[in-house]
Structure 1
Amino acid sequence: MAKTMFTPAGPVHLHLHDLPAGLDLGPVVAVDTEAMGLDARRDRLCLVQLSSGDGAAHLVQLIPESLGGHGYKAPNLAALMSDPATVKLFHFARFDVGLLHHALGVEIRPVRCTKIASKLIRTYTDRHGLKDLLRELLGVEISKQQQTSDWGALELTPEQCAYAASDVLHLHALWAKLEALLKREGRLELAQACYDFLPTRGKLDLLGYEEPDLFHH
């Protein structure tokens, strides 16, 4: 069952429990998540946002069984996240990939990450947040006002849905800009090696190796 709303960001389709069967989001799907906090081992996954880059967003609200939902029993969403023929495009994929793996029990591959791309080629700045990237590279302004709201609420507000959608609606265009810069600077192959490692990095974080970092002295 889906609820469709029209926001300043674009049309948003809110699905309860899972993606509908047969939904085709194309060969590259932009993905983001909202959770109760930033510890994937402690904080539950509440919402998964997706977009095919067509100006519309699909939000999947995951509700615990104790609150009348299906928990993380979302077979259509899990199949998409693990589909080797579908590229999953994130901003800060390290967290999202680990969180999705922990919740859905599948390995998220293949992936791309606009934050890693930015850090590899925008070495003239330390501002790699999505808001900064969209402003500089696309001239798009997004609001982060709802970033710290309660994503575990059973009824999400239109403002929350619009915010969640804005995090995926522009990722395809942003990736096109960053991919061109990676090619220009000769770092596309290096970026790809980083993306290939991200599922393992997420698993290390889930095991507690975020701190101390295995790769730190």
Structure 2
Amino acid sequence: MAVHFHEEDLPEGVLAPGPVAVDTETMGLVTPRDRLCLVQISDGQGDEHLVRFAVDSAFAAPNLKAVLADPARLKLFHFARFDLAAIEHYLGVTAAPVFCTKIASKLTRTYTDRHGLKNLVQELLGADISKAQQSSDWGASEINEAQRDYAASDVRFLHRLHEVFVTRLAREGRSELAQACFDFLPTRARLDLAGWAEQDIFSHA
């Protein structure tokens, strides 16, 4: 297992075919204001790739964009809604089709309100990840080893979680409902970007 660090784009041909786990790190939680700094991606074979974007980046990244926009590749996220918005706003591509482990958790782990990635990894995989670097400065000129390890851990377990949740969704009879939610996620992200982040447009109010 290794963590590979790249500037501005993913090298061509470094990922095996099939689903990829994806995550992002930004300067904050307001997507149009807080720039995209890092995209993490893994093919589930043991290595993680981190693509860092500079403060003056043009976000060209043709190889990364090709993978993210590939309709034949399933993209695995945890809280896809945020990452999809950041990817669409800065990279200009829709990263679909999607599987979101946070949504899958909420649809199957109804016995708890703890749906963070750390909780899922602990309960379902018996592993532990540190969230100490979650709020660190991702726009710094140097990304330190602790930040790199944290960023890599955010995609390291998503393939295994995907397998668990596919089984659990089927067990609970919620696979079709989950798929409908996943299919809607790119639109949900666009609503966020367009100004409807906090308003439920489906409510009567």
Q: Which residue of structure 2 lines up, in the alignment, with residue 76 of structure 1?
A: 63
Name the aligned partner's letter for residue 178 of structure 1: F
Residue type of the partner of 1:45?
Answer: L
Residue in structure 2 matched with residue 88 of structure 1 by the alignment: 75
How far 1:21 sits from its partner (Å)? 1.7
Q: How does 1:85-164 map to 2 (within 5 A)?
A: 85-164=72-151
Distance 1:135 1:76 in 2: 33
Q: How far off its partner does 1:212 sit?
A: 1.8
5 Å-filtered alignment, 1:129-208, equals 129-208=116-195
State the secondary structure of the residue aligned to 1:144: coil
What is the percentage of aligned positions where both structures have the same residue?
60
C-alpha distance after superposition, 1:75-99 (max 9, x if no partner): 1111111100111100000000011
Task: Give the letter aligned to residue 11 of structure 2.
Answer: P
* Amino acid aligned to 2:13: G
**1:26-45 correspondence to structure 2 within 5 Å:** 26-45=17-36
Aligned position for 1:7: none
* Separation of aligned partners in 1, 2:203 and 2:29: 21
Distance in 2 separating the partners of 1:22 and 1:129: 32
Q: How many residues align?
A: 204
Task: Could you list the structure 1 runs, at least 4 aligned residues long, displaced by more than 2 angstroms after superposition.
Answer: 22-26
Structure 1 CA distance for aligned equivalents of residues 60 and 66 of structure 2:
11
Q: TM-score, normalised by structure 1?
A: 0.91
CA contact (8 A) 1:64 1:71 kept: no
Superposition RMSD on alpha carbons, in Å?
1.0
Equivalent position SS for 1:20: coil
Match of 1:13, SS state, is: strand
- Displacement of 1:51: 0.8
The separation in 2 between residues aligned to 1:181 and 1:156, in whole angstroms, is 37
Partner of 1:209: 196
Show CA shifts across 1:146-179 (max 9, x none).
0000000121000000000001011101111111
Counterparts of 1:17 and 1:40 in 2: how far apart (Å)? 19
Unaligned 5+ segments in structure 2 are none
Return the offset for 1:211: 1.8
Letter in 1 for 2:158: L
Superposed CA offset, 1:90-139 (max 9, x none): 00000000110001111121110000000001111000000000000000
Contact 2:55/2:139 (8 A) holds in 1:
no
Distance (Å, rounded) in 1 between the aligned partners of 2:91 and 2:99: 19
SS of 1:186's equivalent in the other structure is coil
Unaligned runs of 5+ in 1: 1-9
Q: Give the Å deviation of 1:25.
A: 3.4
Whether 1:22 and 2:9 are equivalent positions in the alignment is no
Asked if the contact 1:25/1:51 (under 8 Å) is kept, the reply is: no
